[in-house]
Every structure is written in C-alpha cells, then in structure tokens.
Amino acid sequence: MLGDVTINFDRHRKPVKAAERAAGPYPYYGASGVVDHVSDYLFNGEYLLVAEDGENLRTRKTPVAFIATGKFWANNHAHVLKGNELANTYYLAYAIERLDLSGYLTGSTQPKLTQAALNSIRINLPEKNEQDAIAAVLRALDDKIAVNDHIAAASRELGKSLYQSAVNESSQEIVVGKLSDLLTRGQAPRYIKESTGTTVLNQKCVRGGRIVLEPARMTEADRVKPDRILQKYDILVNSTGVGTLGRVGIWSHNAAATTDSHITIIRIAPPVPAIIGGFALLAAQPEIEALGEGSTGQTELNRSKLASLVVRIPTRNVEELAGRLSGLEDRADAALIESKTLTKVRDSLLPELMSGRLRVREALDVVEEAP
C-alpha cells in the first residue's frame, strides 16, 4: 500500500487565507497546483503532492498527483509525500496519476481523499532500480515539454514587451469598433458526435491569451455562417459569466473553426495588421473584464460597450513590429505543438512501462526519436 512506501509530511502544511498572504517568490500549492506566490516557504526539496479534495479528484481535468520542487508552501488541500527507500517519488507520481481513485474517495458534493484512504491505495512497484529507470525516461519527456512551455511563455511575454515599447514610443487611440470589420458573437451550435465538421470553441478554450482545442466540440459545417469561420489572428473574447468574462485569446490554429454564442469574435480591419490588434486587445484585458453587466452568474459583455473600448495602436514601424510579433507567435505555436506530440508519446509509454510490456531500453529508443 502507498502508506508503506512513502513518508507523509501533511503535519507541516499550513493554509493561509488569500487576504493574509504576503506576495513573494515562493509557489503556494493547493489541490491542483500553484494557486499563488508568497514570501515564505514550508518545504524545500522534491515532494509528491496529491490532491486531498475537490471535484477534480473525480473529473481529472488536471493532474491530481504532481511533483513540487525547490522552496514552496503547501496548504491543507494537497497531501505532501516523499517516497521512502523502497520508492522513487517521481515514479509514484506517474503511478498514482494513472490509477482510478474513485473507490478511495468520500463525500458526495465535495470529493475527499483522506490521509487514511491515501495510505491504503494499492500500488504495484517494481524493484527500486527499475522505478528509477522508468521515472528517468518519463521525466526526460516532461523536461522537453517544460522547455517548450517556457519557450511559448517567453515568446508571448517578449511580444507584449515589444508592443508596449512601440506604444510608448508613438501611438494613437482607436475604439475597437473602428479598428475592426467584424465584431460579433458566435452562433449557437448544433453539436455532432462525428469528427467531421467544423470545430466549435467555447469559453474553456480561451486560456492564457491563447486558444486550446481540447475542450472544443464539433458542429455541422453547413450551419456555420461564412464570416464566423475564424481567420488567423482573429481575437476571441469570453463574453459570459463571472470569472470567465473578458478573457482574451488570439486564434492561430490551422483548422476550420468557429465559436459558440458565449464568445465574441473581433476581426481587425486593414491597414492595422491583425496581430497588432490582437496584442492591443490582450493589453486591454483588465478593462474588458470590467465591462461586464448583470447579476452574478448572468454577467454579459455588451458588444456596443466592447466596440466603444479605446485601445492604443503603435504608429511607427508598424509592419516591422507586426513581423516580429508574428514570428514570436509562430515560434510559440511550434513549441506548443511539439509539446502535444511529446505528451502523447509520454502518455502512451506510461502504461506500457508500468505494466512491464515495454522495457526501459525500448522506451529510450522511442524518446530519442521523439521531436
């Protein structure tokens, strides 16, 4: 059982209310990962964190077992463990992540994985040296994924910095309505189960200034109005609901796609390059979030208010700036695409390695051939 091969550090956890946290450099972990950064730390080293409560224990939309390294703080929503002399901590993280935990959970409205239940999880462990080898293979892929994610994040931040510097040098203020030749909500789709058709994006697809396709669904292609088919660097703005309203993303995928009616599509009109309009709307996201109207749960972003929003557009070396921003976005997209490929490779290797159907040496050959 898991309790036989781990050391538990839950007694060292300490929750701190958001209002009482002092900002700082150290990650503050909860059940689903980093939720804040604080000025002090409780742990220093490599630890396995396992979600203690939350609906994600059932839905598994994000990892429930993950590694925290370096100096960090952990609240009481995540168990804190280390493998003992019998277990590799990283191997345990991979092993727990692929387990069905439903039989260990309590609570109907709020799932909970108690420490006793955690300790009782049955887990098959090969010899320690085999665990070490398997973990090393999987970590090599995770390291590549982390590098790509860093490239994508750094490219976006550099793009924001270039845009802001250009605006500070010379710019003009333009309302969004005059900047665009399309500002409209998407359509209410008729979803289909088939993989053929047109991809329909929903508000979950707009994350971190980008568009992710995993939460999207499909609709009949002939039901989508031609102007709602997304073009490169169209800007998508979440337009419904507290917590989601106002999030901005730039469309850059090569796929036939549209949005549902909870997202506003903005298409920049020439002569302003579309990518510059995208960065202008990204910079204005805090103002957009403040435009919501209505009661809690029914908040809406009025199109006329969005059209009246003032953004700043650079006026010098515009084409050169657009080229640099596009290059950075292309670099980020390539890195993220590679990460998806590597994730598929890792996820396919994981059960094969842990079942013994694939040997470590064979897995290494697969990793070396991965992009």
For residue 369, is pLDDT > 80?
no
For the chain, give the percent of residues with pLDDT over 70.
99
My answer on whether 111 and 101 are in the same domain is yes
Q: Supply the pLDDT for residue 222.
A: 85
The answer on 355 and 295 residing in a single domain is no
Give percent above pLDDT 90 in the chain.
78
- Examine the domain organization and report whether 224 and 309 are in the same domain: yes
What per-residue confidence (pLDDT) applies to 124? Answer: 85
- Tokens describing residue 27: 């990650």
241-260 tens-digit pLDDT: 888 899 999 999 988 999 99
- Structural domain range at position 68: 2-123
End of a domain among 89, 123, 157? 123
- Of 107, 123, 139, which residue is a domain's last? 123
Q: What is the 3-state secondary structure (H, E, C) of 31-75?
A: CCEEEEEECCCCEEEEEEEEECECCHHHHCCCCCEEEEEEEEEEC
The predicted pLDDT at position 296 comes to 62
Are both 306 and 329 inside the same structural domain? no
Q: In this structure, are 206 and 287 located in the same domain?
A: yes
Domain count, the chain: 3
In a shared domain, residues 8 and 114? yes
**Same domain, residue pair 105 and 149:** no
Q: Is the pLDDT of residue 55 over 70?
A: yes
Check whether residue 91 and residue 23 sit in a common domain: yes
Which residues are within 8 A (CB) of 112 and not within 5 positions of it... i.e. 6 or more apart?
52, 53, 57, 105, 106
Residues 107 and 52 reside in one and the same domain: yes
Alpha-carbon torsion 108, 112, 117, 122, what sign? Answer: positive
Same domain, 304 and 321: no
Residue 295 maps to which CATH number? 3.90.220.20
The predicted structure's pLDDT at residue 297: 64
Closest-CA residue to 209 (of 243, 159, 247): 247
d(CA 78, CA 13): 9
Round the average pLDDT of the chain to a whole number and report it: 92
Same domain, 327 and 233: no
CA dihedral 64, 70, 75, 80 (to 10 degrees): 60
The answer to whether residues 110 and 233 belong to one domain is no
Q: pTM for the whole thing?
A: 0.83
The last residue of a domain, from among 102, 123, 144: 123
What is the spatial order of strands in the sheet that 235-238 belongs to?
A: 180-185, 263-268, 235-238, 248-250
